[in-house]
Structure 1
Amino acid sequence: MKQPLGVILAGGQATRMGGGDKGLLLLGGQTLLTRVIDRLAPQVAGLALNANGDPARFDAYDLPVLPDSVDGFAGPLAGVLAGLDWAAKQGAETIVTAAADTPFFPPDLVPQLLLASEGMAHPLVLAATPDPDRGTARHPTFGLWPVALRDDLRSALSGGLRKVVLWTDRHGGRTALFPQEEAFFNVNTPADLARAEGML
């Protein structure tokens, strides 16, 4: 399989942060987005950013900015679809997504997702970590997604589907288990940002 393209999901509304772009918040002197780019770029064949609104605010990053193609705030799956449509134009077979507000995700994210996808007709894998209550917790903004299923995803979104795991389960999606529970810690609130400073 060819190396996936990477898509950073930054289309959220950041309501708990008071709005704006969480990815542009500073953590240890760098934006969260810079930290995510630096971690994901070495693992993928190319990179784009899924974000809505004026793309000019991301000019400094010199990345393609992909708006959702689905009307209304349709959540992360809309960003995945935007990424799959972009990847199809590049002739890619898969994308890997990462969230713009999650700066500590594993540096071996992509190799582990690819490993978990071996033997699948359509490589579809979500990252997961141990969870004391549920056994494992899936992280739906971190996954490997096949371009071949983009029209199926478009149809599901048009039909009102919003929950990532409902769609991945429908297609026999797998999980790649990462041992570090803190790896997918994401910054949702000012308190989270302070905690992330402590984790640096």
Structure 2
Amino acid sequence: MSASADGATGRAAGADHGTLGVLVAGGAGARLDSGRPKALLELGGRTLLARACETLAAVCDVVVVAAPESLAVPLPAGVVRVHDPPGVIGPLGGMVAGLSARPYRRAIVLGVDFPFMPPALLRALRARLDEAIVAHEAMACGARAIEAIVPAPGGIAQPLVAAYAPGARDVLAARLASGERAPSRAILALAATVLDDAVVETLPGGHMAFFNLNTPADLETARRRMRMMTESRG
């Protein structure tokens, strides 16, 4: 793994960066049949990468983009690039690379293919994690601290839209080293609070915020939705 200098804040690589944003940008987008990496697909005149970076930048002190070394992606000013572990395919490698890039008090992980994710929802996840950490500290007992807040709309956990405490990093790295490649299985090793449908619906944007792009039909749906949003604002 390698990382660029932090041009946005000028903080040293060893400094505590408060809220770290990890954008998991890897993915060839093969199911989208677009001929280009998913991160570089355009929606409303902007790439998914640019949209996701902007979303994370509104919430986080530092934004890190994790992607395979072979994937050339243009980055906004101040965004840090890290490489997925060599030979590792899948988003778990990007998660671990991003979470390992900088010390942090809490991290927000976001997949590049959630184009309608509002910053307010990510702030809500961060707030829930902070509350859980404070509550654990107040208990002063030997119970394991909460390591993640993971929404599960429709009963499906979304580890690529989640908040993580520092303790999650080593646990996920160990699962990756053991051969695990699926984030949804790797997070089972965490002490996590999973947000069910009822709670997800109370988050800013609700279930619709979790729309993600995997197929050509998804992309067309997203473009129609983007046009409707643009027209309603006009």
Same topology, TM > 0.5: yes
Question: Matched residue of 2:50: which SS?
Answer: helix
Q: How does 1:12-161 map to 2 (within 5 A)?
A: 12-18=27-33, 20-54=36-70, 57-62=72-77, 63-69=79-85, 71-73=87-89, 75-88=90-103, 92-117=104-129, 118-120=131-133, 121-129=145-153, 131=154, 136-161=155-180
Matches of 1:60 and 1:48 in 2, distance apart?
Answer: 10
Q: What CA distance in whole angstroms lies between the structure 1 residues aligned with 2:225 and 2:215?
A: 15
Could you state the TM-score of these two structures normalised by the residue count of structure 2?
0.72
**Distance in 1 separating the partners of 2:18 and 2:124:** 13
Question: Could you state the TM-score of these two structures normalised by the residue count of structure 1?
Answer: 0.83
For the Cα contact (< 8 Å) 1:83–1:95, is it kept in 2?
Answer: no
SS in structure 2 opposite 1:166?
helix
* CA deviation profile, 1:69-117 (whole Å, cap 9, x unmatched): 25331x22211111111122xxx12211111111101321232212332
User: Which letter maps to 1:124?
Assistant: A
Distance 1:93 1:70 in 2: 27
Unaligned runs of 5+ in 1: none
1:84 maps to a residue whose letter is: L
Structure-2 separation of matches of 1:43 and 1:154: 25
- Corresponding residue pairs, total: 190
Change (3 A) 1:111 1:59: closer
Alignment partner, residue 195 of structure 1: 221
> 1:70 & 1:114 partners in 2: Cα distance?
30
Give secondary structure in 2 for the equivalent of 1:139. Answer: coil
CA contact (8 A) 1:23 1:100 kept: yes
2:27 and 2:39 in contact (8 A); partners too: no
Over aligned residues, Cα RMSD in angstroms? 2.2
CA contact (8 A) 2:147 2:168 kept: no
User: Which has a greater percent of strand?
Assistant: 1
Percent of aligned pairs with the same amino acid: 30
Q: Please say which structure displays the higher CA radius of gyration.
A: 2
The reply on whether 1:178 has 2:200 as its aligned counterpart is yes
